[in-house]
Amino acid sequence: MGIGRIAIVGTGHAGVQAAASLRQDGFEGELFLIGEETDLPYHKPPLSKTFLKDDVPQLQLLRPEDFYARNRVELLSGRCVSAIDPAGKRLEFTHGGVLSFDRLVLATGARPRLPAVPGTDLEGVLALRNRADGLALRAALPAAGDVVVVGGGFIGMELASTFAALGRSVAVLEAAPRILGRAVSPLISDHLADRAVASGIRILTGTGLAAIAGEAGRVRRITTGDGQSLPAQLVVIGIGVEPNVELAAAAGLAFSNGIAVDAAFRTSAPDIYAVGDVASYEHWLAGRVLRLESVQNATDQARSAAAHLLGRPAPFRAVPWFWSDQGDARLQMVGLAYDPDRDVVRGDPQSGAFSVFRYRGDRLLSIETVNRPSDHMLGRKLLAAGIAPPIAMVRDAGADLRSLLEGEPKTSARAAVVSS
């Protein structure tokens, strides 16, 4: 029996790709794409990169304006879904109205976590997830000579470099012993920290945020866990995100650090799927349940979920990749490094361009590169093909690692990039 109507909740990278893929894969029924944001769906990564620097802030649209009408996607912007009834196959909107569905895709993403300290409600304390946040940051910048970034993760470090480039005095607070500690190898973390410090950013590690203080409702300073006091006219919170699971939880869907889905992106409720930042699943490459936060993960999952939903399942074998721009350092990552026991460096960190190949035993887990795009692209193919270069070869700057891919099918190159 054909599917009459599919509803997608969330108009981020995952929701929009799901809509596009459903149409591309031949779905002919009604397609609703629902999101609480009022803008046409747009790219999030530039928000912490170019959006703050451009003279006129431009949103970069995910799809052309006429894409939705052309593809018969009923885009309901500015509409928040307040409840799901899995048994009755209906959803409810915050400001009234219901919509029935045959299949539902949850792509509700994540939102910034806020620290449990006094003062987060002061004016000038911001977090960054969407356009409104980006505009608020821009508006706050002119009056902010001193900026404190709470959290040395990707978004925190990107923002810190942007603020420094805009001539602000910037301090980053990181509770862990190093920035980006959970995400990258110690070598890359140290290298990026050195670069940040060289560009004038102060990094305080091993200490968290204790309190934010203000006057007349506006932020003035912060206090660190170890008692230091720093001036701040702008405080940006970047301590990570939490998945938007409330809808799913209230509907009784199973979750573990995100909405739990199986290999076909099905939740515990029949005919309800979840993809993107909100979904947790057993990753084929890592062999464990996890939730990834990246554009690649959102779009590749959405493509795969659309295929499964239309009864054309293909095993999900996309290789995860990610990037981050921090000043003049372009970090690129491919693979997932769980429990690495060996990091092998290729190239010379002093030169500002090098890579770290991370291994567990003789298995290649991931490659992290700084300003070395060729190693990154090679890594996508190696990981897709399950090939681990011998360590001696990685260390030997003269060895051509591409020779390891000889005999691999040509199509693997493209599949590693545009897995459709």
Q: Choose one: 150-158, 159-167, 251-259, 408-416; the region binding another protein (CB under 8 A).
A: 408-416
Task: Return d(Cα 251, Cα 300) in angstroms, integer.
Answer: 26
Q: Choose one: 39-47, 197-205, 382-390, 392-400; the region binding another protein (CB under 8 A).
A: 39-47
According to DSSP, residue 312 is labeled -
Instruction: Residue 417: count other Cβ atoms within 10 Å of its Cβ.
Output: 15
Instruction: Residue 402: count other Cβ atoms within 10 Å of its Cβ.
Output: 12
Residue burial 50-89, b: 16+ Cβ < 10 Å; e: rest: ebbeeeebeeeebbeeebbeebebebbeebebeebebeeb
Choose which of 185, 324, 326, 366 interacts with ligand FAD (CB under 6 A): 324
Choose which of 6, 8, 13, 179 interacts with ligand FAD (CB under 6 A): 13
354 binds another protein (CB under 8 A): no
Which one of ligand FAD, another protein, none is in contact with 48 (Cβ closer than 5 to 8 A by kind)? ligand FAD
Choose which of 32, 101, 255, 321 interacts with another protein (CB under 8 A): 321
Evaluate the CA torsion angle 141, 144, 145, 150 in order and state its sign.
negative
Instruction: Residue 95: count other Cβ atoms within 10 Å of its Cβ.
Output: 9
Q: Choose one: 148-156, 166-174, 292-300, 383-391; the region binding another protein (CB under 8 A).
A: 292-300
The DSSP element (H or E) to which 17 belongs, if any, is helix 13-24
Q: Minimal distance in Å, beta carbon 417 to another protein?
A: 5
Q: Choose one: 115-123, 191-199, 369-377, 392-400; the region binding another protein (CB under 8 A).
A: 369-377
Evaluate the CA torsion angle 54, 57, 63, 65 in order and state its sign.
negative
Distant-in-sequence, close-in-space partners of 141: CB < 8 Å, separation ≥ 6:
52, 163, 166, 168, 234
Q: Minimal distance in Å, beta carbon 418 to ligand FAD?
A: 15
Length of the chain: 420
Closest CA to 83 of 229, 250, 242: 250
Which one of another protein, ligand FAD, none is in contact with 172 (Cβ closer than 5 to 8 A by kind)? none
Report the residue number, 74 or 408, with the smaller CB distance to ligand FAD: 74
Long-range Cβ pairs for the range 87-90 (8 Å, 24+): 89/271
Report the residue number, 48 or 366, with the smaller CB distance to ligand FAD: 48
Choose which of 75, 210, 247, 378 interacts with another protein (CB under 8 A): 378
Q: Minimal distance in Å, beta carbon 38 to ligand FAD?
A: 10
Give how many residues touch ligand FAD by CB under 6 A. 37
Report the residue number, 161 or 224, with the smaller CB distance to ligand FAD: 161
According to DSSP, residue 313 is labeled -
Residue nearest to ligand FAD (CB): 12
Task: Return d(Cα 251, Cα 87) in angstroms, integer.
Answer: 9
Beta bridge partners of 290: 281
294 binds ligand FAD (CB under 6 A): yes
161 binds ligand FAD (CB under 6 A): no
Interacting residues with ligand FAD between 94 and 133 (CB under 6 A): 107-110, 128-129
- Yes or no: say if 100 and 59 are a contact pair by the CB < 8 Å rule: no
Which one of ligand FAD, another protein, none is in contact with 36 (Cβ closer than 5 to 8 A by kind)? ligand FAD
Choose which of 124, 381, 384, 401 interacts with another protein (CB under 8 A): 381
Report the residue number, 246 or 396, with the smaller CB distance to ligand FAD: 246
CA end-to-end span of the chain: 25
Which one of ligand FAD, another protein, none is in contact with 89 (Cβ closer than 5 to 8 A by kind)? none
- Give the DSSP letter string of 322-370: EEEEETTEEEEEEE--SS--EEEEEEEGGGTEEEEEEEETTEEEEEEEE
Beta bridge partners of 359: 342, 364
Say which residue the tokens 């970047």 belong to: 238
Q: Choose one: 98-106, 133-141, 317-325, 339-347; the region binding another protein (CB under 8 A).
A: 317-325
318 binds ligand FAD (CB under 6 A): no
Give residues in contact with ligand FAD (CB under 6 A): 9-15, 34-37, 44-45, 47-48, 80-81, 107-110, 128-129, 155, 244, 247, 276-278, 293-296, 298, 322-324
Residues that bind another protein (CB under 8 A): 43, 45-46, 54, 60-61, 63-67, 70, 295-296, 299, 321, 323, 325, 330, 332, 373-374, 376-378, 380-381, 410, 413-414, 417-418, 420
